[in-house]
Chain A
Amino acid sequence: MSVFVLKRLGQAVVTLLLMTFMIFGLARLTGDPTPLVLPAEATEADRNFFREQYGLDRSLPEQYVIFLRNVTHGDFGISFRYRKPAMEIVATAMRPTLELSAMAMVISILIGLPLGILAAMYRGRWIDRLVDLYSNIGQAVPTFWLGLMLIIAFAITWPIFPSTGYGSPMNFVLPSVTLAFFTSSSITRLTRANMEDVLRSDFVHMERVLGLSQFRIVAKHALRNASLPIVTYLGLQFGLLLGGAIVTERVFAWPGIGQTIVDAILNRDYPIVQAAVLTTALFFILINTVVDILCAALDPRVQR
């Protein structure tokens, strides 16, 4: 077990290092940011001072080491646009994104689990077909378009919910439902597949023979056995929700990390891009690693 944990942690560190390398390389690929940051009338002396201040006059390996050292201290430099530390801006934006993802996760579970169970119980019948249709559409609808359609329906045609903004509980409804649609459809699929396997197993057959009620079999025994892969999957899905949030936030002007990244790219505010991408990647890798380790602890077969 401890070997597995160490291996998995090592893998996470390698991934993160690769990510820093990539982000550093990409930032340098775009060339010298000096003309972007300083006004056109800046003198050559000003420019040189700026380059010195940001270490842009050093060699590339040196720059990478400086970058890595700063990053481990949470220092990504000053945002070109806001003249504030990039990390400060990213940290403020992280909260709305995590809230939105958590809300969407709850909704996905509330929809996905019951639908998946129902489909498995009535395999091949019309309810199964309907659920199958739902999950197929869920996998194919572009998230941002679903958001736009919900705005047209529930903010413009029937003005029930606000289309943009952040703060009140009402603001959460449309964005989190939008974000939850894809995830709920994949949870439905997975639940159906796992429940189907369990419902066909010998012990369920035995319980039927013993005369236990369908409800009791499903709710008390089958669900427990089907839950491990589902729980693992939920962990992975949470990471994917962070990714999906990027697009959803754009639709609803949600002040989260996705908006921050996209705005920063459009404004070429590289310190913010680097800080935001690395922070999100860190969250994602952390969640995946913890889920893998938990999963191995619950089911030793996972360790291979």
Chain B
Amino acid sequence: MTALSRAASGRVASLLMRSRPWLRNKPVMALVFCSLLIIAAVFGDMIAPYGVTEPDFAASLSPPFWMQDGSNAHLLGTDQLGRDVFSRLIGGARISLITATAAIFVAGTLGALLGLIAGYFGSIPEAVIMRLADAFLALPFILMALALVAALGSGLGNIILVMIFANWARYARLVHSEVLSIKQRDFVTLARIAGVSRMRIAVRHVFPNAINSVAALAALDFGRAIILESSLSFLGLGIQPPDVSWGSMLADGKSEMQFAWWLTVWPGLTILAAVLSFNAVGEWLKGELDPRSML
């Protein structure tokens, strides 16, 4: 970014802060919670007091520690098989973050590349890629995912694949429209006059200018990805045991709702907090990366 455009985006940002003062602050709580989730995902095995699938039949369905029959051995209670809910939540963090990160990274890269090809080279590739993207975007996300699960089957790897399929088109469309406008800018024309090859212009000059908006969309997509994965797992079509997911914990807890509220309340609250935090951090990052978009 040149000094001039940096100054311009700084002015835009300050204008923005005057109109929406609460954006000025970093979302501290959200950042803290996101960091905790990442720590839980990476070092889960060391933090969790019990194994994810470790049963303790003597303590089956024990409530959280502050309740009458609760114990300090299982802070947030246990499920039907006596598995520790807190440990399973930590295990679920790993699965959630792995799926979301892998899916968004691959979908973003793939979509951005296809969008770049479509926007920069035009004609036939553009027609094919963008019509395909339209078709993918013309359907509800969950319906698309279900159709794919029906064919591919469930499990961690397939769920990531499904989410890539369901997500790439949004990135392709974004990069396509970005590239169309960047292509018209003077520095691209100048590069062409200077005799730089089309390939090199696309990779060295056009693409880097579109990357910030891709990163901003990716940051905002994180929450969506977490909800989609947990929805599929809740339907019994996502993550399969012995892997644990917040969504499948909810599905397991559903049958015990009358006696054991903690089996449905904790995983749900965790999803809610995770999505709220990632959305807030995403919004903030978007403002930092791509200030124009916030006007």
Contacts and interface: CB of A to CB of B under 8 A. Distances in A.
Interface of A: 11-12, 14-15, 18-19, 22-23, 26-27, 29-30, 136-137, 139-145, 148-149, 151-152, 156, 239-240, 242-244, 246-247, 250-251, 261-262, 264-266, 270, 273, 277, 280-281, 284-285, 288
Nearest to A132: B22
Contacts of B250: 144-145, 148
A137 B138 contact: no
A144 B236 contact: no
Contacts of B150: 26, 30, 264-265, 270, 273, 277
B38 interface: no
10 contacts: A15-B134, A27-B151, A139-B279, A140-B227, A142-B234, A145-B271, A148-B268, A149-B268, A151-B257, A242-B143
Interface string B125-142: 000000110110011111
A152 B261 CA distance: 8
A140 B264 contact: no
Contacts of A261: 143, 146
Given A148-B268, A243-B143, 8 more contacts: A136-B279, A142-B247, A152-B264, A242-B143, A262-B236, A266-B236, A280-B140, A284-B140
Contacts of A12: 138
Contacts of A15: 134-135, 138-139
Contact of A280 (B143, B148, B152, B267): B143
Nearest to A259: B235
A143 B141 CA distance: 14
B231 interface: yes
Nearest to B223: A140
A19 to B, nearest CB: 7
Secondary structure of the B contact surface, majority rule: helix
Secondary structure of the A contact surface, majority rule: helix
B92 to A, nearest CB: 13
Given A136-B279, A144-B231, A247-B235, A277 B147 contact: yes
Given A139-B279, A247-B235, A262-B146, A285 B138 contact: yes
Interface in B114-172: 131-132, 134-135, 138-143, 146-152
Contacts of B16: none
A23 B272 CA distance: 33
Nearest to B131: A14
A136 B146 contact: no
Contact of B237 (A11, A148, A242, A262): A262
B264 A148 contact: yes
A280 to B, nearest CB: 6
A168 B268 CA distance: 29
B147 A273 contact: yes
Nearest to A30: B151
B257 A152 contact: yes
Contacts of B267: 145
A149 B262 CA distance: 11
Given A22-B147, A261-B146, A273-B147, A243 B271 contact: no
B87 interface: no
Interface residues of B, number: 40
Interface of B: 131-132, 134-135, 138-143, 146-152, 223, 227, 230-231, 234-237, 247, 250, 254, 257-258, 261, 264-265, 267-268, 271-272, 275-276, 279
Contacts of B272: 137, 140-142, 145
Contacts of B234: 142, 144, 247, 250
Nearest to A144: B234
Nearest to B22: A129
A285 B258 CA distance: 40
A246 B271 contact: no
Contacts of B147: 22-23, 26, 273, 277
B141 to A, nearest CB: 6
A18 B140 contact: no
A136 to B, nearest CB: 7
Contacts of A270: 150
Nearest to B165: A22
A149 B139 contact: no
B143 A284 contact: yes
Nearest to B139: A281
Nearest to A14: B131
Given A23-B147, A284-B140, A149 B265 contact: yes
- 7 smallest CB-CB distances across A and B, nearest first, come from A243-B140, A26-B151, A145-B268, A140-B275, A18-B135, A15-B135, A140-B276
Contacts of B134: 11, 14-15
A149 B264 contact: yes
A148 B265 CA distance: 9
A29 B139 CA distance: 21
Contacts of B151: 26-27, 29-30
A11 B135 CA distance: 8
B237 A243 contact: no
A110 B132 CA distance: 36
Contact of A136 (B265, B271, B276): B276
